[in-house]
Amino acid sequence: MSMLGIKWKLHGTGKNIKPGQVVAPDERLAWPLTVGVGMQHVVAMFGATFLVPIITGMPPATTLFFSGIGTLLFLVITKGRVPSYLGSSFAFIAPITASQAQFGVPGALGGVVLAGTTLALVGAVVQKFGAGWINRLMPPIVTGAIVALIGLNLAPAAKQNFDAAPITALVTLVTIILVSVLFRGILGRLSILVGVVVGYIVAMLRGEVKYDKMDAAAWVGLPHFQTPEFHIGVLGLFVPVVLVLVAENIGHVKSVAAMTGQNLDGVSGRALMADGAATMLAGFGGGSGTTTYAENIGVMAATKVYSTAAYWVAGMFAVLLSFSPKFGELIATVPAGVLGGAATMLYGMIGILGVKIWVQNKVNFSNPINLTTAAVALIIGIADYTWTIGDLKFTGIALGSAAALAIYHGMKAIANARGTVAEPETEQGVLPPAAKAAMKAAAKRAPKKR
């Protein structure tokens, strides 16, 4: 049982958490409380996980099914040491949409399988040799640029949906913005879900919601499964996503380690392999690619409950919900205007997450290597440059990611050989010029000691 990560000891009395304490991954509260926390995790992941299939036209119930199954698989592979929920990754939206236009849904699913396979292989290498080589291959300037360009590359798609119903989209967006600052706790964290619900109500009042498919669907039934097809043309679309998934997984493992006070470096590779396996499984059955969810990390930070027992509850409940076709079709009725308002926030958030990586790691943009890497990669990604070679078509995300890697490592190699770059890659506690000038002026005004 302990090898599967499903052996937990009771935390204290199981009824409360004392100040300064946390419920560790291998602990649990009393089962009624654990079930309640698990349900909260489902609510936290719900809005974001469902938006991906809705935007890409994939079956929502199928995505929910593989999200729940993927979470349970993740817990088993990591032996219950990493509490995390695997929801739909926004990094897959652009490649799935682009590949559907060329190869249909089966071709897109083939790309998801390839991405999952690649991620699992990377995880195996990390588990064997450690994560140091990833940090060298993808330093913060490169990781931040790739994450940012994936989000900003989707801006035209957000505008297209926004223009379909501007009033509904605006109400959705404004609601998301207001809820995030009006409310504390879990409600504030669920601002996107609340915004979608309010926008949906407005869309209903405006006659923008169609219920034909939902009315015809059964209350109970299997999710709609589909099989993949494999085309070499999707490689350039999906491989860059792997870089984002690696960054997300490693970052989330480090976040959980910091919050629980446990060293989880030894299971970083397992986390990558688990997410890769879950993504492969989803691709083989018709679901969206998965990633570890920051929304659920936020729930853990708020509740101080890091028990993997709660995630077993969440995963099983997600699977149960997926067996209602009527529920899935209800989710699929979300109209374009609501998606446009939510996507405006979501895609922008992905872009800003890249900037956050730069800020947190104190990337120094006075260094010409950093500046050039970010500048060129972002423009290629945002403008969606394309390059076609036979059956292969590389779009802005693939070309921008490749540019970030090639420019950074190429310029660094030349600079090291020539000794031409004196600026450090990160800011080592250096004050801005204005602050230095102010301190110097203050020092001159200060009375001299006698």
What average pLDDT does range 344-360 have in this prediction? Answer: 82
The pLDDT score that the predictor gives to residue 108 is: 93
Q: Is 94 exposed, middle or buried (0-12, 13-18, 19+ CB in 10 A)?
A: buried
The pLDDT score that the predictor gives to residue 195 is: 87
The yes-or-no verdict on residue 40 having pLDDT over 90 is: no
CB 24 within 8 A of CB 260: yes
The yes-or-no verdict on residue 439 having pLDDT over 90 is: no
Main-chain dihedrals φ then ψ at residue 388, nearest 5 degrees:
-110, 130
The yes-or-no verdict on residue 450 having pLDDT over 50 is: no
CB 153 within 8 A of CB 348: no
Give the containing element (helix H, strand E) for 27.
Answer: strand 27-28
The yes-or-no verdict on residue 133 having pLDDT over 80 is: no
The pLDDT score that the predictor gives to residue 275 is: 94
Max CA-CA distance within the chain?
Answer: 91
DSSP string, 113-156: HHHHHHHHHHHHHHHHH-SHHHHHHS-HHHHHHHHHHHHHHTHH
User: In terms of pLDDT, which residue wins out, 435 or 406?
Assistant: 406
What average pLDDT does range 218-234 have in this prediction? Answer: 88
pLDDT above 70 covers what percent of the chain?
90
pLDDT, the chain, mean: 83
What is the per-residue pLDDT across 379-398, written as a single tens digit (0 to 9) for each?
A: 998 998 888 776 666 778 77
Looking at residue 114, its amino acid is L
CA–CA separation, 8 vs 18, rounded Å?
19
Which of 125-129, 373-377, 438-442 is predicted most confidently?
Answer: 373-377
What is the SS3 assignment for 56?
helix
The yes-or-no verdict on residue 31 having pLDDT over 50 is: yes
Q: Is the pTM of this model over 0.75?
A: no
- Residue 384's region, left for phi above 0, alpha for psi from -120 to 50, else beta, is left
The yes-or-no verdict on residue 449 having pLDDT over 50 is: no
CA–CA separation, 189 vs 44, rounded Å?
8
